[in-house]
Amino acid sequence: MIALDRLSLSIHGQPILRDVSLDIAPGEIFGLVGESGSGKSMTALALMGLLPTGAATTGRASLDGTDLLSLSEPALCRLRGNEIGMIFQEPMTALNPVQTIGAQVAETLTIHGKADATEARAIARDRLDRVGLKHIPMDRYPHELSGGQRQRVCIAAAIALHPRLLIADEPTTALDVTTQAQILDLLRDIVADEGMSLLLITHDLAVVADMADRIAVMQTGEIVETGPTKTVLARQDHPYTRALFAASSHQPDRATYPDPAPLLAVENVTRSYPGPRQGFRRSPPLHAVDGVSFALHEGESLGLVGESGCGKSTLTRAILGLDPIQGGAIRLNGTPVTPQMPRAARADIQVVFQDPYGSFNPRWRVERLIAEPFHLLPDPPRGGDRRDRVAEALTAVHLSPDDMHKYPHEFSGGQRQRIAIARALITRPKLLVLDEAVSALDVSVRARILDLLAELQGEFHLSYLFISHDLTVVRAITDRVLVMQSGKIVEEGATEAVFTAPTHPYTRTLLKAAPRLPDHIGGSHDTLV
Amino acid sequence: MRRLPPALILGAVLSGAFLIIALISLVWVPYPVDGVSIADRLQPFSLAHPLGTDQLGRDVLSLLMVGSQTSIAVAILAVGIGMGLGVPLGLAAAARRGSLLDEVIMRGNDLIFAFPSLVIAILITARYGPSATNAILAIGIFNIPVFARVARGGALPLWTLDYILAARTAGKGRIRISAEHILPNILNLLIVQATIQFSLGILAEAALSYVGLGAQPPTPSWGRMLSEAQTMIYTHPMLAVLPGLAIVLMVLGLNLMGDGLRDVLDPRLRRGRT
């Protein structure tokens, strides 16, 4: 039905896609897998005729014989939404914040002249019911819904006109695992019911392994392997496919130090916010962290798992001594952790954040960025001494000492995360808090960063508090794990034990929801990229 | 190298020309501006007096040249007062978002904004006597809330970024973070705003001088040249047109420069245009 035949694309002379060929049959789910920059999103935009200016294409992209590349803009407008629907990664920005959800779903219908305003509203209601939003009135605004509900609204708008192809570009990447499972179920259902085709674009092999009938693996603008999902997963003919698999389930080699000395003690910590104002009164305070206790031992790697809104970020900020706590105590080596704690005590605990782009002042050079925590030391090294220490930290994270003269924008995402680790290591801390530190990275980059973390842990005898929503990663790098739900720790135990035999129902839900690669396949660890 | 927007180049050339004229007039003018000579009054354009003379026989070109000094000096000092006080206030408000300090600063700003600025300027000069200094103070005070708001608005989104959290885990206090991380990253906003306030300052100075509350005679000023030419607007229109043109060109130049700088410095707008 929809076919790409040796489609090549360049933007301002820069080649983006090379000879991409694929075809999707009606009612089929086709998975397009690749890392960032592989050209998977551009392939989708080419199908929609939404390429940026300066794009030049060769080859063919056709929908039932109609050449999409030669269509005029008005013809494309009739096609979009009508024949091809699309949903995006970020459901908040894909919806207009000042329009009701009903209006946004109805809009697709009225624009294409398929219904007048009243009919459109009726159909929109029907479509919203179809995506599981029966209980949500049409006059709600996007901000009143949760992330998963917003993505459902996007799906309702995309399928309003029963398009024949639905393109989903990373539809669940911004969502929690349990929500992700629900959205994927919904997409699978809709495809079966409506007989439409689904082009599912994702970086997550586990998602397509579960969903797609056929998949194509993309690398730097080319499809390197394609075929029925089972065959591709089982055979892994192309080395890149093997590398991707290996990286997805990568297990770094870690030496563990069973050392009973507690380093960080969190005792019955409560963190609450004042309730919203109601007239002159306030409703009762909201407990973001509610009586949490745990201990982290020297040389240990402890995972903290939970979905968004469970309070793990709030707890992290309290452990870093950035926010005051309302009850309980946090002690690092016996010293209380508070926003007023002495600077020297802070040197023992450092942090690596998720976003490799927002973590650095864009106007500073790497040397100054990495040296910033020296502010904590009573006698910070200066001049050549300082440069030596920065060079040492850069070498430790496998970057070149010469990199200290560059600006952060000159580095890739993975390299920036290495710089962030170097900055965290510069004061030789005992505890490193890794706040979703690998969540924004591609799988192959992520595997290398996990290796680095394992290596540094051995070298510097570090303890890690590893906060993540990604269960695979937590399983790969931690000794013990805490599962957090609505401000409370609901399960705690040795990582393998919790993952193989979870006792709390919430942990079971989480583990069940997480998409997994089939066990019997997947490359061995030494074929790493 | 990216091409600069034409508006920026034109604006910079215009504003630069006035700055050069003002600097030249510090060391040299064709005729002394206090050289009253009734015999030479109201002369048309000539080689000796390229832009003619006024009703007291003073050379108009010289008056305009020295007048640019007054305009620029008043505007620079007024913008300086506004930035010098407004930016730290705005940064402090952003650093303590939602606190009492934030409320006091921002509500104080609202209070100043609530008064019609020219009326207050007239009040100040009426109470403390008309002079260039009082004009500077009056214009400067009204620049404070403008810069405080721009600084606070630019700083607030930065405070949520990870690199600010990282600086806090590095034990840096709010003042230090404001100076090291926030200020350099909102400088582009402040520069653009300064250019715009500068042109508004020139307009305000001209308005105050026009009603006699700015620089006092014999210091020449464009606004007072306008008001003195008013009675002769039908007989000798050039006496009003020339200072008017000077004000228009200078303000236009600064506005073009401000718009151009905004295009170059504000990455959000830049992305929208390319």
Residues A463 and A411 in one domain: yes
In this prediction, residue B52 carries a pLDDT of 81
Q: How many structural domains is chain A composed of?
A: 3
pLDDT at residue B39 greater than cutoff 80: no
Crossing angle of helices B238-265 and B222-229, rounded to 10°: 150
B225-253 pLDDT, tens digit per residue, is 888 888 888 888 888 899 999 999 999 99
Q: Is residue A110 part of a domain?
A: yes
pLDDT at B123: 83
| CA nearest neighbour of A372 among A310, A422, A442 | A422
Mean of pLDDT values over A270-294: 82
Residues 82-141 of B with CB under 8 A from A: none
Q: Does B3 touch chain A (CB under 8 A)?
A: no
Within 8 A of A408 by CB-CB distance, chain B residues are none
Residues near B173 by beta carbon (within 8 Å), at least 6 away in sequence = none
| Contacting residues of B for A361, CB less than 8 Å apart | 163, 180-181, 184-185
Task: Please provide residue A495's backbone torsions phi and psi, each rounded to the nearest 5 degrees.
Answer: -55, -50
- Distance of alpha carbon B52 from alpha carbon A341, whole angstroms: 73
Q: Which residues in chain A have Cβ-Cβ distances shorter than 8 Å to B185? A: 361-363
Answer yes or no: is pLDDT of A388 > 80.
yes
Single pTM value for the model? 0.81
- The yes-or-no verdict on residue B260 having pLDDT over 60 is yes
Same domain (yes/no): A128, A41: no
Q: Catalogue all structural domains in chain B, each as residue range(s) with its CATH number.
A: 6-273 (1.10.3720.10)
CB atoms closer than 10 angstroms to residue B23 = 12
A264 near A429, Cβ under 8 Å? no
Q: Are B166 and A359 an interchain contact pair (Cβ–Cβ within 8 Å)?
A: yes
pLDDT above 80 for B265: no
Q: What is the residue range of A114's domain?
A: 92-162
Q: What is the per-residue pLDDT for A409?
A: 87
Is any Cβ of chain B less than 8 angstroms from the Cβ of A346? Answer: yes
Does the beta-carbon distance from A361 to B171 stay under 8 Å?
no
Kindly state whether residues A72 and A186 are assigned to the same domain.
Answer: yes
- Whether A109 is covered by a domain: the verdict is yes
Which of A317, A343, A361 is the closest to B163 by Cβ?
A: A361
Q: Which pLDDT band, with edges at 50, 70 and 90, does A187 fall under?
A: very high
Cβ atoms of residues B249 and B13 within 8 Å: no
In a domain, A255, yes or no: no
Mark yes or no for CB contact A361/B170 under 8 Å. no
Encode chain B in three state secondary structure.
Answer: CCCCCHHHHHHHHHHHHHHHHHHHHHHCCCCCCCCCCHHHCCCCCCCCCCCCECCCCCEHHHHHHHHHHHHHHHHHHHHHHHHHHHHHHHHHHHHCCCCHHHHHHHHHHHHHHHCCHHHHHHHHHHHHCCCHHHHHHHHHHHHHHHHHHHHHHHHHHHHCCHHHHHHHHCCCCHHHHHHHHHHHHHHHHHHHHHHHHHHHHHHHHHHHHHCCCCCCCCCCCHHHHHHHHHHHCCCCCHHHHHHHHHHHHHHHHHHHHHHHHHHHHCHHHHHHHC
Least confident of A60-64, A452-456, B60-64: A60-64
**Does residue B166 sit at the A interface (CB-CB below 8 Å)?**
yes
- For residue A363, give the nearest of B166, B169, B185 by CB distance: B185
State how far the Cα of A459 lies from the Cα of A453, in Å rounded to an integer: 10
Please tell me the predicted confidence (pLDDT) of residue A526. 40
- pLDDT of A522 > 50? The answer is no
Is the Cβ of A205 closer than 8 Å to some Cβ of chain B? Answer: no
| Cross-chain residue pair B169–A373, CB shorter than 8 Å | yes
Give which of B163, B183, B265 to mutate to test A binding, by max A Cβ within 10 Å: B163
Q: Name the pLDDT band for A255 (thresholds 50, 70, 90).
A: low
What distances in angstroms separate CA A399 from CA A355, A367, A386, A393, B86, one per listed residue?
Answer: 19, 12, 17, 9, 43
Compute the nearest-CA separation of A348 from chain B (Å): 10
Mutation for A interface: B159, B160, B162, most A CBs within 10 A: B162
> What mean pLDDT, rounded, does chain A reach?
87
Residues A77 and A100 occupy one common structural domain: no
Domain shared by A146 and A227, yes or no: no
Q: Quick check: B171 and A343 CB within 8 A? A: yes
b/e sequence B162-194, b meaning 16+ C-beta within 10 Å: bbbbbbbbbbbebeebbebbbbebbebbbebbb
Same domain, yes or no, for A304 and A186? no
A426 or A356, which is more confident: A426
pLDDT in tens, A471-513: 888 988 899 999 999 889 999 999 999 999 999 999 999 988 8
Interval B116-154: pLDDT, tens: 777 877 888 778 888 888 888 888 988 999 999 999 999
Can you tell me the distance from the alpha carbon of A302 to that of A315, in angstroms, rounded to the nearest whole number? 14
- B188 inside 8 A of chain A by CB: no
User: Tens digits of per-residue pLDDT, A420-431?
Assistant: 999 999 999 999
How close is the nearest chain A Cα to the Cα of B103, in Å?
A: 17
- Flag the least confident range among A49-63, A123-137, A143-157: A49-63
C-beta of residue A432 within 8 angstroms of C-beta of residue A463: yes
Of the residues A217, A235, A253, the one at which a domain ends = A235
pLDDT tens-digit readout, A311-345: 888 899 999 998 889 989 999 988 899 888 888 88
Q: Model confidence over A468-482: pLDDT tens digits?
A: 988 888 988 899 999
Give per-residue burial for A147-173: e unless 16+ CB within 10 Å, then b. Answer: bbbbbbbbbbbbbbbebbbbbbbbbbb
Mutation pick from B97, B99, B158, B169 vs chain A, by most beta carbons of A within 10 Å, is: B169
Nearest chain A residue to B274 by CA distance is A53
Cβ proximity of A4 and A43 under 8 Å? yes
- Domain boundary, last residue among A111, A140, A162: A162
The 3-state secondary structure of B45-85 reads CCCCCCCCECCCCCEHHHHHHHHHHHHHHHHHHHHHHHHHH
Is ipTM > 0.90 here? Answer: no
A321 at interface of B, judged by CB pairs closer than 8 A = yes
Q: Distance (Å) from the C-alpha of residue A343 to the closest C-alpha of chain B?
A: 6
User: Pairing between strand A301-305 and A2-11?
Assistant: unpaired
Give which of A499, A514, A508, A467 is closest to A180, Cα–Cα.
A514
User: Cβ contacts of residue A138 below 8 Å, gap of 6+?
Assistant: A100, A101, A102, A103, A105, A121, A124, A125, A128
Contact A346, A369 (CB under 8 A): no
Using the Cβ of A351 and the Cβ atoms of chain B, whether some distance falls under 8 Å is answered with yes
pLDDT tens readout for residues B1-10: 467 888 889 9
What's the whole-number mean pLDDT along residues A28-49?
88
Interface contact A376-B185, CB threshold 8 A: no
Considering the domain boundaries, does residue A282 fall inside one?
no
Rg (CA), chain B: 22
A21 and A71 both lie in a single domain: yes
Q: Specify the residue for token string 């509350």.
A: B213
The position carrying tokens 């952003």 is: B94
Residue of A273, A340, A361 to mutate, interface with B, max B Cβ within 10 Å:
A361
Same domain, A373 and A447: yes
Region class of A53: left (phi > 0), else alpha (psi between -120 and 50), else beta:
beta
Element (H, E) at A291: strand A286-297
The nearest alpha carbon in chain B to A356 belongs to: B162
Q: Assign A523 a pLDDT band (cuts: 50, 70, 90).
A: very low
Q: Are B21 and B65 in contact (CB under 8 A)?
A: yes
Measured between alpha carbons, how far is B72 from A380 in angstroms, rounded to an integer? 46
Neighbours of A298 (CB within 10 A): 18
Of A81-85, A167-171, A254-258, B39-43, the range with the lowest mean pLDDT is A254-258
With 50 as the cut, is the pLDDT of residue B274 above it? no
Pairing of strands A29-34, A2-11: unpaired
Do A497 and A384 share a structural domain?
A: yes
User: Which residues of chain A lie closer than 8 angstroms to B171, CB-CB?
Assistant: 343, 346-347, 373, 375-376
Q: How high is the pLDDT of residue A529?
A: 36
Judge if A465 and A397 occupy the same domain. yes
Residue finishing a domain among A186, A215, A235? A235
Hey, are the CB atoms on A349 and B169 less than 8 Å from each other? yes
Kindly report the nearest CA distance between residue B176 and chain A, in angstroms. Answer: 11
The residue with tokens 């998949």 is A215
Q: Are residues A220 and A307 in the same domain?
A: no
Rounded to a whole number of angstroms, the distance from the CA of A407 to the nearest CA of chain B is: 14
Residue of B nearest to A364 (CA): B181
Categorise residue A162: left if φ over 0, alpha if ψ from -120 to 50, beta otherwise.
left
The pLDDT value given to residue A79: 84
| A376 vs B: CB within 8 A | yes
Sheet of A327-332: strand order equals A286-297, A262-273, A327-332, A335-336
Kindly state the DSSP code that residue A410 receives in the 8-state scheme: G
Instruction: Count interface pairs A-B at CB distance under 8 A.
Output: 53
What pLDDT, on the 0 to 100 scale, is given for residue A311?
Answer: 87
Maximum distance among all alpha carbons in chain A? Answer: 74
Q: How sure is the predictor about A215, in pLDDT bands with cuts at 50, 70 and 90?
A: very high
Chain A residues 398-457 with CB within 8 Å of chain B: 420, 423
Residue type at position A440: A
* Residue A375 at interface with chain B, using a CB cutoff of 8 Å: yes
CB-nearest to B168 from A322, A362, A423 is A322
| Residues A69 and A149 placed together within one structural domain of the fold | no
The pLDDT value given to residue A525: 40
CATH of the domain at A404: 3.40.50.300
The alpha carbons of chain A give a radius of gyration, in whole angstroms, of 25
Asked whether residue A487 is assigned to any structural domain, the reply reads: yes
pLDDT band at B79, cuts 50/70/90? very high
pLDDT at residue A77, as a whole number: 84
Residues of chain B with Cβ-Cβ distance to A343 below 8 Å are 171
Region of B178 (left: φ > 0; alpha: ψ -120 to 50; beta: rest) is: alpha
Which residues does chain A have within 8 Å of residue B167's beta carbon, measured at their own beta carbons? Answer: 372
pLDDT digits (tens, 9 = 90+) for B183-235: 999 998 999 899 999 999 999 889 888 888 888 877 888 988 888 888 888 88
**DSSP secondary structure letter of residue A284:** P
- Tell me the shortest Cα–Cα distance from B118 to chain A, in angstroms: 38
